[in-house]
Structure 1
Amino acid sequence: MVSRRNVMKAGATAGAAALVTATAAAAARGSTPSATPAHGTHTGHGKTAHVAAVTAPFAVRMPIPPVQQPIASVANTDFYVVSTRKAQAEILPGTRTEVLTYDGLFPGPTFRVKTGRLAVIAHSNHLDMPTAVHVHGGHTPSSSDGFPTDVLDPGKSRIYSYPNKQRAATLWYHDHAHHMEAEHVFRGLAGFFLIDDPAQAELRLPTGSYDIPIMLRDARFADDASLVFEHDDFQFRNTILVNGKPQPYFPVAARKYRLRFVNASNLRTFTLRLGNDAEVAQIASDGGLLAGPTPIRSWSLTPGERVEIVVDFSAFPVGSQVFLDDAVAGPVLRFDVNRAAADTSRVPDRLSTIPALPAATKERAFTLNFNPSTGQFLINGQQFDAERVDTEIKRNTTEVWTVTNGDTLFGIPHNFHPHLVQFRVLARNGQPPAPGEAGVKDTISVGPGETVRLQATFGPYLGRYVYHCHMIDHSASGMMAQMKIVP
């Protein structure tokens, strides 16, 4: 199981591993390591291993994580209790795997809350290691944000409060205890946190049983079905799980569905499309609805990113099988169109008003890079130190951040996620953002040699937060920094 010492040891050897892997891959091709990974491949440090099936495909149904119910509700507040504990889960059919869970579920229960309504969650830690809970994409007070060293010790409980004063969106929650977050998330500490806005009912998007959250991730299993975690292991996590099951199927009616995707992998990027190359409508990104639907045939998700699409399965005859394909893994999910159904939902031409961009008062620059000599992953040449404030920001001010991936020699990808805020993408490599990135975001891909410019307003809360690469094996090895919001 995880320990700080083991993670630091892994970080110290990651440099050699990255160099050896990239060089060996290049030698096999008879070339030097490529500066840019092939489009759609798993963006690890060099050559990608394709997915190997460990069980018969499409033998199990994709489950939908249950919605956590409040134990009490008063005025404008809902109260919940959750325990973090080990459990045995049937991931591979006919076997049991020990996992880390919220309330014994893999993935964890879904929190479905309303915008502007306070959610108070009492977490108790029944594990033998510290944890820290972070709602990814949440505008959250510092005391409840899951700062990496603000941990909940074994046997203890604490209250996390989420005001949810933000746009409706598909968020997710996961562990964030520093040096341990990578293994904790890999072993199961993740779940959906969905914010709904009753005012969006007039849009008539698919709802209820036609609104489906889908958590994608990869995993590595031993012969005895136990999970195998090795730090920075981008080659052998070769089993794709969809809501905790390998290559499942899911029955659908011949009508429109809203599909909410989150990439909960530590390192893997997914590039997805329907197997028949059908056009779908992207309606939302990390921070909620786009201004209007964007027709797409494929969509990519780096770790932590979310995309929402609407698929109209009435385009397929009843009895059809529609595959969700990944560019590297191949088919990861099968939709079985098994019945007709009435459908009054729609995808309107206008979905939302994207918040205006206030005038920025400061610009900052950040470079993400890996030091192969030390095995450290760095931001602006420094490894994370919880005792050091890297960036001090006045509350409610607006800044433009330029984020560059300096890891070009070996083609190491990164992405970028600041806590507390969501941002707008101003440019990628000097060009306007693609339509799918033109909405509200909180996590963004930064490929080798790429530069993105982001604009965010930092408020309304004071205190300390972090920003980091959300390829969380990287952040666990130091690619994270601290910002402090001051009066």
Structure 2
Amino acid sequence: MFNRRQLLALGTATATGVAARLVFKGSPTAEAAPVSPHANHLLPAVSEVGATTVTVTPFTEPMPVPPQLSPVSQAGGVDVYEIPIEPAQVQILPGLSTPAYTYGGSFVGPTIRARTNRPVRITYTNGLDSHTNVHLHGGRVPASSDGHPMDMIEPGGSRVYDYPNVQRGATLWYHDHTHDYEADHVYRGLHGFYLIEDPAERHLHLPKGRYDVPILLRNAQFDESGAFVFGNPDDRTTILANGKVQPYFQVAPRRYRFRLLNAALKHVFRLNLGGQPMVRIASDSGLLPAPTTHTELAVSSGERVEIVIDFAEHRGRGPVYLFDGDNPILRFDVGSTRVIDTSRVPDRLRELPPLGTPTVERTVELKFDMSGRPPTAFIDGKVFDPNRVDIQVKRGTTEIWNIVNGDTDPYPFDHPFHLHLVHFQVLGRNGGPPAPEDTGLKDTVYVSPKGSVRFQVTFDAPFVGRYMYHCHYPEHSYLGMMAQLEVVP
């Protein structure tokens, strides 16, 4: 069922290996160029080194599963963790060592498996030479633990984050959110999974244990030594699956649940199995009301999607490939021994919470001003100011938000929009119905060039304070495309 380009890509990969281009380009585009004096190290070296290639033989390295972290204490019904934030040398490209920033020395960071309504407390200690912080993306958490861009952990310092987990089961992730440094820190490796398991969903008998696999997808560019190159987003053409280039993953001929996260700074994955159907069971913030079937899923930066693949029908019939468009990024090697599989995907999963009655409707516009060098990014015509509250909402109220992409020709940028603290349901897109990927509870949604998205949100989290909403391309939010929301009693 592969198309011609996919067949050519597979043929080239299996016959000759794939060349991962490690390129120093000319001057970066205006969109990519950072502006902060604190982040000059983001600029790539230019015009000193020519194009360099390294050959990576595809599907020869196994895809690792991120290590699962165990609590250091569970006293008082609270799972307590300690995570150092530290530089480390990691092996991404064969034969080369890549300097990275890590949570606990791991690239990808260790996975935390939490449980609905059971609190988690994490102490992060900053072993970097720059400020950092941590945002639990998709978490309903107190403002003091949300990782506000200005709430920083100084070098050598520590900070305690409290996560009450008063929410449904979902695939969340944690990452750096420090103002001026987020793009650099996330790009270097400060990202990891935070999975909330919900006892209310056990009766569904979805795949679990080692058959429930988180996969972090992102892109990167490297220099000839194996170091990350920040550079131009268009040159980050090397795709990583859990930190490896075109790895393989050994699977039994049975159902697997894959939790897919797009942790790229700027990329939209178009995930497909070469024309074979994928069963989607969950979005950013938990299970769908019912499974849906797709031949391709678009996943923008910050978004998550959960799929179930039944490999039983592929027993003895060769591997299954996961593609990004026409580019093979992961090979599933299916075992030949028949196994007993007691998991299932029921026709009904979990109903969404009621929408409520909206009392306020807002329009939020994302837009660049490209007249300057570097450009300026706005939300509703304003550059981010941490001392300004842009929107105030009352806790418990329901609102409709219209997110409008104001960027038009000749710079039709796209923007994934992320709202902290709460989850929403998409009502429409570009004046029409939602896209297939829009169903379910969301905290991040893709807004196409010159497009718009309409969603309904209830501010029902039991917290007040200041939270962020912004474009989830960190290079866009870094240039000012962030704003501040205050939830009041």
> Fold match, TM over 0.5?
yes
Corresponding position: 1:303 with 2:301: yes
In the alignment, the residues of structure 1 paired with residue 161 and residue 406 of structure 2 have an alpha-carbon distance, to the nearest angstrom, of 36
Aligned residue identity for 2:332: F
Check the 8 A contact 1:319/1:338 in 2, yes or no: no
Please list every run of at least 4 consecutive aligned residues from structure 1 whose deviation after the TM superposition is greater than 6 angstroms: 8-11
2:124 matched residue in structure 1: 123
2:163 matched residue in structure 1: 162
1:291 matched residue in structure 2: 289
2:323 matched residue in structure 1: 325
2:473 matched residue in structure 1: 471
Aligned residue identity for 1:214: I
1:431 matched residue in structure 2: 432
2:454 matched residue in structure 1: 453
1:23 matched residue in structure 2: none
In the alignment, the residues of structure 1 paired with residue 269 and residue 98 of structure 2 have an alpha-carbon distance, to the nearest angstrom, of 25
In the alignment, the residues of structure 2 paired with residue 348 and residue 212 of structure 1 have an alpha-carbon distance, to the nearest angstrom, of 19
1:207 matched residue in structure 2: 208
Check the 8 A contact 2:298/2:437 in 1, yes or no: no
Aligned residue identity for 1:457: T
Deviation at 1:238, TM superposition (A): 1.2
Secondary structure at 1:357 match in 2: coil
Deviations 1:300-320 (A, max 9, x none): 110000000100111213251
Corresponding position: 1:174 with 2:172: no
Aligned residue identity for 1:332: I
2:243 matched residue in structure 1: 244
Cα RMSD (Å) of the superposition?
Answer: 1.7
1:390 matched residue in structure 2: 390
Structure ranking higher on relative contact order (CA contacts 8 Å, 6+ apart) = 1
2:233 matched residue in structure 1: 234
In the alignment, the residues of structure 2 paired with residue 352 and residue 432 of structure 1 have an alpha-carbon distance, to the nearest angstrom, of 22
Deviations 1:71-123 (A, max 9, x none): 01024211000000000001111211110000000010001000000000011
Matches within 5 A, 1:47-446: 54-230=55-231, 233-275=232-274, 277-318=275-316, 320-327=318-325, 330-339=327-336, 340-374=338-372, 375-409=375-409, 410-446=411-447
Deviation at 1:8, TM superposition (A): 8.2
Inter-CA distance 183–161: structure 2 relative to 1 (3 Å threshold): same
Runs (5+) with no aligned partner, structure 1: 14-51
Give aligned-pair identity as a percent. Answer: 49
1:5 matched residue in structure 2: 37
Secondary structure at 1:110 match in 2: strand
Inter-CA distance 56–262: structure 2 relative to 1 (3 Å threshold): same
Deviations 1:375-423 (A, max 9, x none): 0111111111111111111122111110011112122111100101111
In the alignment, the residues of structure 1 paired with residue 211 and residue 316 of structure 2 have an alpha-carbon distance, to the nearest angstrom, of 17
Provide the TM-score with structure 2 as the length reference: 0.88
Secondary structure at 2:234 match in 1: coil
Secondary structure at 1:332 match in 2: strand
Deviation at 1:55, TM superposition (A): 1.2
Secondary structure at 1:202 match in 2: helix
Provide the TM-score with structure 1 as the length reference: 0.88
Deviation at 1:10, TM superposition (A): 8.0
Check the 8 A contact 1:319/1:336 in 2, yes or no: no
